[in-house]
Amino acid sequence: MLLKNKVAIITGSSRGIGRSIARAFSLEGAHIVLNGRKTSARPIEGLAKEIESQGTKVLIVRGDAGDWETAQRLVQQTIERFGRVDILVNNAGISPMASIEEIGPKAWDEVFRINLKSAFLCSKAVLPHMKRRRSGAILNISSGSAKSGGVGAHYAASKGGVNTFTKSLAFEGGPYGIRANAISPGPIATEMADELFAPDRKRFLESVIPLGRLGSPEEIADAAVFLCSNEASFITGEILELDGGLNFYKPLSYAGQRWKSGGSQ
């Protein structure tokens, strides 16, 4: 088991990529701290029961990861229960679609608060503990939009911030044995994607992805296991693109603009 007896905090773990990462980590032997807002209570409780049935321990800490009090409580309660934090996965995020003219100042701030500030706050809360132990792995979930831009400027900009924040984390954490990396997913078949993309748009995205399909949350989770394990002990400051080849073939911004204009490939 790659993560046997490791203790992992996963923010935004009620559904989609976060849920799949929690499952994958538990199958690799990690004890899991689940986090989500109060509105996600039922799916998180169901996931906790599923994980416990596999023989690993679970703690649920409810609250908004973009709030400093919640971030501190996440770390404090984890240490009280398990004695340490080995892994932090900053996954909490939202991805509204809107043009620059449609984005209001409050909407801009909210996307940055959840997508970027939450990663900053949770990392800030856990760093002193990881520094004392001179060990730790922090994984941020970014997006291909961070590199390509496209529709949803607030989302793309917040994820661009996640990428550069990851590199700063790696720089500051390195001398203490703390590694920081990010995964940059392309289009992934999650509940969030189902809410954002109509069936015809999904088909269009599949047509411009070299592998011919959307990725799965489980594929992101497999990469997360590797990056947070000792198998990746000399990897830090990296942004791993998992997009089926989309960004080297036709950038996500191109795909989005062609879709909006109704153009062909």
Residues 74-116 have pLDDT tens digits of 999 999 999 999 999 999 999 888 999 999 999 999 999 999 9
Per-residue model confidence as pLDDT tens digits over 202-253: 888 888 899 999 999 999 999 999 999 999 999 999 999 999 998 776 655 5
2 lies in a domain?
no
29 lies in a domain?
yes
d(CA 79, CA 248): 42
Give one DSSP letter per residue of 151-169, joined into a string: S-HHHHHHHHHHHHHHHHH
43 lies in a domain?
yes
Q: Is residue 18 over pLDDT 90?
A: yes
Closest to 119 in 3D by CA, of 62, 168, 82: 168
Q: Does 155 qualify as catalytic in the annotation?
A: yes
pLDDT of residue 63: 96
15 lies in a domain?
yes
62 lies in a domain?
yes
- Residue range 11-16: mean pLDDT, rounded: 94
Residues across the chain: 265
Residue 242: CB atoms within 10 Å = 17
d(CA 187, CA 244): 9
Burial level of 131, CB count in 10 A (0-12/13-18/19+)?
middle
Domain count, the chain: 1
- pLDDT band per the 50, 70, 90 thresholds, residue 196: low
Which ranges in the chain belong to alpha helices (H)?
A: 16-27, 41-52, 68-82, 105-112, 118-133, 145-148, 153-173, 191-196, 199-208, 217-228, 246-249, 252-261
183 lies in a domain?
yes
1 lies in a domain?
no
- Residue 15 has what DSSP assignment? S
Query: What are the b/e assignments for 89-103, b being 16+ CB within 10 Å?
Result: bbbbbebeebeeeeb
Q: For residue 49, what are the CA distances in angstroms to 8, 25, 55, 58?
A: 17, 15, 10, 8
Domain that holds residue 244: 7-261
Q: Is residue 257 over pLDDT 60?
A: no
What CATH number is associated with residue 123?
Answer: 3.40.50.720
